[in-house]
């Protein structure tokens, strides 16, 4: 009998057990195991495993081959070419630990962070909870991250060793807890300045429910001030590096009414942002399907996953109508399949992201989503993705 080295045996064991895994192995082994594992520990193990799998050219090649989605739905937005419209959402890789892993999983782009100017531990643990029957998560991480200085050092090392990532790198900017709300613009702008040369797109996140009063910054004057500070950095750094300015997006909360939504979208648009991400997690709660879920939904924090799906798709629809389809929308919230993704495209999203879907469906989600969109395009007679975007608002 061939004896496996302990590390290889561990990898094979984990391959069946980690939450990014797919297919039969996932449904037979991973789900029951995940149900009893601490959510944050499971997440951190999955990232470690992903890093390990892509550190060796042979296993990296296998992962790439296994998860490769269709390459027939590329899209260009805000001057950037994406090999497909589906990316990893913020929060999944807060410390930028698995960049090569995301590339190998077939994604069109990856968003790291939220990153704050200062290093911070985030809220005390446990702070991430799973409601499996409802395919929902509740988290109150509170921007745990190494801070902008350390991330800049780490990205510098990564770029020196591996070169520029093969897919666009988005950077999610958060506000440090210690920074007063009135000084928020400095906090966002400093992080952007430190990370400018590494990021292809920057996201102003004023919608996390887990930093006290952060959502107040969605208000007109505060948001304007943050956008202006980030745009100033963008201009200076672009001139310094003799490059084009980076697109800047604003990520919004799903817990705003229509008037607030219109105001935020108008502020972002009229102050020169390049698009809107809808949406972050919600503070609202669905009906629990069990007593276990009731406990999860009673936790403070933001809810993501399937129960957020319609709320976020409706927001996309509203923003598309408010802007006559002229302002790029990035759709995120409850994408668990190609069908879910298609609904967001038809509602008006040009690009899509997911977090919770990867936890519940595994790493094959990208393939399901990208191939699923392509199939729907063909069924509906569209030859490019651009033709499908916002089609629910037209009589095509």
Residues lying near ligand FMN in the complex (CB under 6 A) are found at 89-91, 94, 113-114, 128, 137, 139, 141, 143, 172, 174, 205, 208, 251, 280-281, 304-305, 308, 332-335, 354-357
Q: Provide, rounded to whole angstroms, the least separation between the CB of residue 146 and ligand FMN.
A: 13
The smaller minimum CB distance to ligand FMN, of residues 185 and 356, is found at 356
Active site residue 27: no
Q: Provide, rounded to whole angstroms, the least separation between the CB of residue 65 and ligand FMN.
A: 26
Q: Provide, rounded to whole angstroms, the least separation between the CB of residue 310 and ligand FMN.
A: 11
The smaller minimum CB distance to ligand FMN, of residues 172 and 371, is found at 172
- Residue 104 to residue 166: CA distance in whole angstroms: 9
CB 208 within 8 A of CB 214: yes
- Residue 29 to residue 196: CA distance in whole angstroms: 42
Q: Provide, rounded to whole angstroms, the least separation between the CB of residue 160 and ligand FMN.
A: 26
- Residue 241 to residue 294: CA distance in whole angstroms: 52
User: Which residue has the closest beta carbon to ligand FMN?
Assistant: 91
Q: How many CA atoms lie within 13 A of 341 on its CB side?
A: 27
The smaller minimum CB distance to ligand FMN, of residues 67 and 355, is found at 355
Q: CA 315: distance to chain centroid?
A: 17
The smaller minimum CB distance to ligand FMN, of residues 140 and 318, is found at 140
Sequence-distant (6+) residues with CB within 8 A of 233 are 189, 192, 193, 196
Neighbours of 51 (CB within 10 A): 14
- Residue 294 to residue 248: CA distance in whole angstroms: 38
Q: Provide, rounded to whole angstroms, the least separation between the CB of residue 341 and ligand FMN.
A: 11
The smaller minimum CB distance to ligand FMN, of residues 47 and 382, is found at 47
Q: Which of 39, 208, 279, 312 is catalytic?
A: 208
Q: Provide the sign of the torsion angle of the four alpha carbons 336, 337, 341, 342, taken in this order.
A: negative
Q: Which residues are catalytic?
A: 208
């Amino acid at each position: 009998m061939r004896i496996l080295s302990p590390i290889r045996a561990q990898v094979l064991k984990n391959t069946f057990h980690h939450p990014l895994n797919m297919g039969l192995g996932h449904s037979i082994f991973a789900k029951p195991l995940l149900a009893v594992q601490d959510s944050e520990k499971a997440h951190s193990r999955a990232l470690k495993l992903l890093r390990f799998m892509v550190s060796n050219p042979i296993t990296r090649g296998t992962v790439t081959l296994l998860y490769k989605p269709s390459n027939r739905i590329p899209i260009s937005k805000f001057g950037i070419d994406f090999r497909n419209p589906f990316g990893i959402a913020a929060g999944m890789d807060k410390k930028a630990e698995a960049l090569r892993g995301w590339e190998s999983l077939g994604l069109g782009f990856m968003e790291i962070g939220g990153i704050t100017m200062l290093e911070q531990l985030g809220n005390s643990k446990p702070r991430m909870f799973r409601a499996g029957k409802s395919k929902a998560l509740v988290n109150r991480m509170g921007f745990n991250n190494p801070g902008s200085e350390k991330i800049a050092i780490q990205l510098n090392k990564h770029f020196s060793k591996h070169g520029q990532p093969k897919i666009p790198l988005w950077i999610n900017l958060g506000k440090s807890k210690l920074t007063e709300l009135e000084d928020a613009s400095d906090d966002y702008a400093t992080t952007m300045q430190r990370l400018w040369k590494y990021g292809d797109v920057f996201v102003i996140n004023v919608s996390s429910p887990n930093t006290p009063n952060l959502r107040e910054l969605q208000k007109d004057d505060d948001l304007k001030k943050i956008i202006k500070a980030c745009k100033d950095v963008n201009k200076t750094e672009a001139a310094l590096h003799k490059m084009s300015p980076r697109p800047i997006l604003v990520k919004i909360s799903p817990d705003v009414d229509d008037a607030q939504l219109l105001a935020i979208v108008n502020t972002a648009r009229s102050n020169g942002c390049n698009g809107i991400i809808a949406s972050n997690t919600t503070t609202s709660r669905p009906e629990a399907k069990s007593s276990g879920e009731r406990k999860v939904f009673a936790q403070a924090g933001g809810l993501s996953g399937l129960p957020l799906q319609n709320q976020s798709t409706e927001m996309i629809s509203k923003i598309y109508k408010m802007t006559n389809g002229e302002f790029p929308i990035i759709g995120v919230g409850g994408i668990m399949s190609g069908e879910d993704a298609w609904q967001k495209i038809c509602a008006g999203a040009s690009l899509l992201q997911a977090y919770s879907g990867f936890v519940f469906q595994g790493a094959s989600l990208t393939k399901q989503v990208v191939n699923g969109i392509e199939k729907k395009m063909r069924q509906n007679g569209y030859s490019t993705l651009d033709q499908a975007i916002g089609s629910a608002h037209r009589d095509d």
